[in-house]
Amino acid sequence: MNIAAELLVVSFKVICSFVLAGAKWLVKPREKRVAGQVCVVTGAGSGLGRLFATEFARRRATLVLWDINREANEETAELVRDIYRETEPRRGSGDGVEDVPFYQPRVYTYVCDVSKRESVYSTAEKVRQEVGNVTFLINNAGVVSGHHLLECPDELIERTMMVNCHAHFWTTKAFLPKMLDLNHGHIVTVASSLGLFTTAGVEDYCASKFGAIGFHESLSHELKAANKDGIKMTLVCPFLVDTGMFQGCKIRKEIAPFFPPLKPEYCVEQAMRAILTNQPMVCTPRAMYVVNFMKTILPFDAIVCMYRFLGADKCMYPFLAHRKESTNNNESKI
């Protein structure tokens, strides 16, 4: 085809993708079935990870829970088992479950420090042997140092980078080969709106989340380049979620009521919808798409003065102070 004709086709496809994306906003496509699929969730012991686990359990996926904290992880497993019991399909109830082959999902727990690549690789090997082929990989584990850069111990900065960014490389290297074999799978990156735009005092967190998003996007392109259309990718970018991770964070008080911290349940509900309809990216709340767009077109000084007006320039400072206080209290106790 000559280049002019090709250009015409590309323009048409670009317009189509806009129309399609708009249509998906109005008419939600059917959610895919996950019953019987194996789903690995990192950081499953708390926060969003725990909620992702329960949402997948409700849809009767087999769950593989990873966390560094054994007890917390077991608590999540207990919740998952409860949900399996509650959602057991009843045979002969006339609701059509007879048509579906009966599948009893199971939950597996592993203690794993995702910042250590040997720990990731050896745990992944166990999963392959004890559970089977992994379809869903939810890269969710995340930490924040919560110190001003110059007061932050180097180890904590490294840890944030390892957990929030490097770990995605190791888990993906562990589970992607099988997905490629089967041309079937789904990789989810739980990033943050702080992986799209930033504020003061969370350098480690922002750097790691920008890194995770760069990784995610490049890998998405690599799968497209290899025509592996059976493997889906979803990027999840929630604004501040009310999980206690950024406790104390505050914007200007007149504006704060319009941007309440997100309920984690809401955030995961939106993320699940995106995942199960193979949506490439989801920002919650939707206003964050606008903020992200503004950030890319406005001059830096314009952003600075808007941040000052909104109180977003130092919104993390109360959180950092809160962290400092609780660290000091812990130290004095010891």
Separation between Cα atoms, residue 260 and residue 241, nearest integer Å: 9
Number of H-type helices and E-type strands within the chain = 11, 7
Q: Which is nearer to ligand NAG, 79 or 131 (CB)?
A: 131
> Is 231 or 315 the residue whose CB approaches ligand NAG more closely?
231
Chain residues 188-227 in contact with ligand NAG, contact rule CB under 6 A? none
DSSP-derived secondary structure letter, 222: H
113-132: which residues touch ligand NAG (CB under 6 A)? 132
Task: Say whether 266 is catalytic.
Answer: no
From the list 46-54, 176-184, 225-233, 241-249, the region that binds ligand NAG by CB under 6 A is 176-184
| Inter-residue contact 105 to 57 (CB < 8 Å) | yes
Q: How far apart are the first and last CA of the chain?
A: 73
Q: Is 299 helix (H, G, I), strand (E, B) or coil?
A: coil
Q: Of residues 103, 108, 110, 205, which has the active-site annotation? A: 205
CB of 181 to ligand NAG, least distance (A): 4
280 binds ligand NAG (CB under 6 A): no
Q: What are phi and psi of 80, to 5 degrees?
A: -65, -45
Given the rule CB under 6 A, which of 177-185, 227-235, 303-311, 320-328 is the region that contacts ligand NAG? 177-185
Which uninterrupted H or E stretch holds 67? Answer: strand 62-67
Position among 54, 69, 133, 247 found at the interface with ligand NAG (CB under 6 A): 133
- Within positions 22 to 81, which residues make up the interface with ligand NAG, using CB under 6 A? none
Tell me, what amino acid is at 195? G
Indicate the angle between helix axes 47-58 and 264-276, nearest 10 degrees.
50
Measured from the CB atom, the residue of 179 and 267 that comes closer to ligand NAG is 179
Catalytic positions? 205
Residues of the shown chain interacting with ligand NAG in the complex, contacts defined by CB under 6 A: 132-133, 178, 181-182
